[in-house]
């Protein structure tokens, strides 16, 4: 960061603090400004050049009779409206107009302090109200002062200072209205930016939640199947250890292969959590029905006999559909192995616009069915993510799973 950037940053911080302090002490600042402004005005008015027309003031049309009561009224009015202009801008604008008209009617001249105070209050009023209200109230006040000058003033209706004061008044109201519009536009832009930031944060949280759910499904699918294989083979090894020690070797080999597979797949799933700078290449394996034969072999090794039949011509599927189909088959056969009688039926049908999966097995009445149910939830969520459906349930001693997934992924708006 350069020295210029540091200085700009420090100046911005100081300016922001000053503005915040000014907003907190607006009433005090307005009161001090009113006292200084009125005091300096009268000092310049009475001690300035007095060779510009009648009265002690600066020139025709802006001079008033040398009357102490008029100056007191004008000074008190200006002091009050300037000090309180942020609190009641509309009422104080009308008050200043009424006093100005009264002074014009009594002396035939405008009091310059009241005119300047009117312009300041009019600007504040135009900034703090809507456009229609600002122009309605300010227009009536300008018209009232112009009529009073025409009726009571020495120059009559067509005096140049009448048009000048009216023009300045209109210009100040226009500037105040333009400032209000610009401030409203900036506020709306900032509000949209805040909403956009909030939306981005909400979207990020939603994506994090979806990713966590996806990873949880992946971990469940990976672990549940292979742990079931390990469990079955460990039970078989324990059973044959004393009676047929020579049969323990194949069971332990299956356990080792299943454990290795679990470790590899866990590493692949957890790998998606790593940063891009931590991996040279993505390690998540490609899951799909192309690995169905390998999956069926692993179940066969674990003691589950699967009758597999396929209808239609196998074809490449969208990645999300292919992965969902693989995981649904894996979870269904894992449940069949846990709670079934050792046999299951798998049917995969390739239709023109969809792929249908049917898995069924007889229920082993003696099997413990205290599962968490996350597997069925995961299957339904995977199918829903592709625009498909999954139905599962037990009927007449059988548990059947039916899934239908589209051949193409539906676009979401």
* Secondary structure (3-state) at 44: helix
Residue 398 backbone phi and psi in degrees, to 5: -125, 150
Q: Which of 216-230, 252-266, 274-288, 386-400 has the lowest mean pLDDT?
A: 274-288
DSSP 285: P
Angle formed at CA 342 by CA 340 and CA 348, multiple of 5 degrees: 85
Check residues 219 and 298 and name the one with the higher pLDDT: 298
Average pLDDT along the chain: 78
- Asked if the model's pLDDT at residue 280 lies above 60, the reply is no
Q: Within its chain, how far is the Cα of 293 from the centroid?
A: 47
What local confidence, expressed as pLDDT, does residue 302 receive? 82
Check residues 65 and 188 and name the one with the higher pLDDT: 188
- Asked if the model's pLDDT at residue 55 lies above 50, the reply is no
Q: Within its chain, how far is the Cα of 331 from the centroid?
A: 38
What local confidence, expressed as pLDDT, does residue 319 receive? 80
Q: Where are the alpha helices (DSSP H) in 241-282?
A: 248-271
Check residues 235 and 40 and name the one with the higher pLDDT: 40
219-268, pLDDT tens digit by residue? 666 666 667 777 777 776 776 677 777 667 776 777 777 776 766 666 66
Out of 178-182, 262-266, 281-285, the most confident range is 178-182
Q: What is the pTM of this model?
A: 0.45
What local confidence, expressed as pLDDT, does residue 284 receive? 46
- Asked if the model's pLDDT at residue 53 lies above 50, the reply is no
Helix (H) or strand (E) holding 112: helix 112-128
- Asked if the model's pLDDT at residue 44 lies above 90, the reply is no
Taking residues 258-285, what's their average pLDDT? 57
Specify whether the backbone of 159 is left (phi greater than 0), alpha (psi in -120 to 50) or beta.
beta
Spatial strand order of the sheet with 354-362 comes to 305-311, 343-350, 354-362, 398-406, 389-395
Distance CA 345, CA 332 (A): 10
Q: Where are the alpha helices (DSSP H) in 241-346?
A: 248-271, 292-301, 319-339
- Looking at the chain, the whole-number percentage of residues with pLDDT higher than 70 is 73
CATH of 289-413, one of 1.10.150.80, 3.30.565.10, 3.40.50.410, 1.10.150.110: 3.30.565.10
- Asked if the model's pLDDT at residue 95 lies above 90, the reply is yes
Out of 124-128, 207-211, 234-238, 405-409, the most confident range is 124-128
Distance CA 133, CA 130 (A): 6
Provide the residue ranges of all domains of the chain, joining segments of one domain with +. 24-197, 289-413
354-378, pLDDT tens digit by residue? 999 999 999 887 766 555 566 788 7
What local confidence, expressed as pLDDT, does residue 174 receive? 92
Written as six digits, the tokens of 361 are 């097995």
Taking residues 315-343, what's their average pLDDT? 88
Query: 84 with 96: CB under 8 angstroms?
Result: no
- Asked if the model's pLDDT at residue 401 lies above 90, the reply is yes
End-to-end CA distance of the chain: 43
What local confidence, expressed as pLDDT, does residue 265 receive? 66
Q: Which is nearest to 79 in space by CA: 120, 47, 108?
A: 120
Helix and strand numbers, DSSP H then E, in the chain: 11, 5
What local confidence, expressed as pLDDT, does residue 348 receive? 95
Taking residues 100-113, what's their average pLDDT? 86
- Looking at the chain, the whole-number percentage of residues with pLDDT higher than 90 is 19
Query: 226 with 259: CB under 8 angstroms?
Result: yes
- Asked if the model's pLDDT at residue 138 lies above 60, the reply is yes
- Asked if the model's pLDDT at residue 132 lies above 70, the reply is yes
């Amino acid at each position: 960061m350069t020295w210029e950037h540091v200085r700009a940053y420090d100046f911005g911080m100081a300016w922001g603090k000053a503005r915040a302090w000014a907003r907190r002490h607006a009433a005090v600042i307005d009161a001090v400004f009113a006292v200084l402004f009125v005091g300096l005005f009268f000092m310049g008015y009475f001690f300035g050049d007095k060779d510009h027309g009648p009265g002690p003031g600066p020139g025709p049309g802006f001079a008033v009779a040398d009357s102490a009561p008029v100056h007191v009224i004008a000074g008190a009015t200006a002091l009050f409206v300037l000090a309180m202009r942020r609190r009641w801008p509309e009422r104080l604008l009308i008050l200043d107009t009424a006093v100005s008209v009264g002074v014009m009617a009594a002396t035939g001249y405008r009091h310059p302090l009241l005119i300047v105070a009117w312009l300041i209050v009019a600007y504040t009023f135009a900034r703090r109200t809507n456009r229609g209200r600002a122009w309605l109230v300010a227009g009536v006040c300008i018209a009232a002062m112009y009529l009073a000058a025409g009726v009571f003033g020495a120059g009559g209706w067509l005096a140049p200072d009448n048009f000048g004061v009216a023009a300045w008044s209109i210009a100040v109201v226009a500037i105040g209205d333009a400032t209000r519009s610009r401030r409203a536009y900036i506020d709306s832009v900032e509000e949209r930016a805040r909403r956009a930031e909030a939306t981005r944060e909400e979207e990020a949280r939603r994506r994090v939640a979806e990713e966590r759910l996806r990873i949880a499904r992946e971990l469940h699918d990976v672990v549940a199947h292979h742990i079931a294989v390990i469990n079955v083979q460990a039970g078989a090894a324990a059973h044959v250890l004393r009676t047929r020690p020579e049969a323990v070797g194949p069971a332990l080999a299956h356990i080792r292969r299943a454990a290795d597979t679990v470790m590899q797949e866990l590493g692949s799933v957890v790998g998606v959590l790593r940063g891009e700078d931590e991996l040279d290449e993505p390690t998540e394996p490609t899951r799909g029905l192309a690995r169905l034969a390998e999956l069926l072999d692993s179940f066969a090794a674990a003691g589950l006999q699967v009758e597999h039949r396929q209808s239609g011509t196998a074809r490449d599927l969208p990645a999300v559909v292919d992965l969902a189909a693989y995981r649904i088959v894996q979870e269904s056969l894992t449940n069949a192995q846990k709670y079934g009688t050792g046999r299951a039926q798998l049917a995969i049908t390739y239709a023109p616009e969809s792929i249908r999966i049917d898995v069924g097995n007889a229920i082993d009445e003696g099997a413990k069915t205290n599962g968490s149910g996350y597997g069925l939830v995961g299957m339904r969520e995977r199918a829903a993510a592709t625009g498909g459906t999954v139905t599962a349930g037990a009927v007449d001693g059988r548990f059947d799973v039916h899934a239908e997934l589209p051949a193409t992924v539906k676009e979401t708006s």
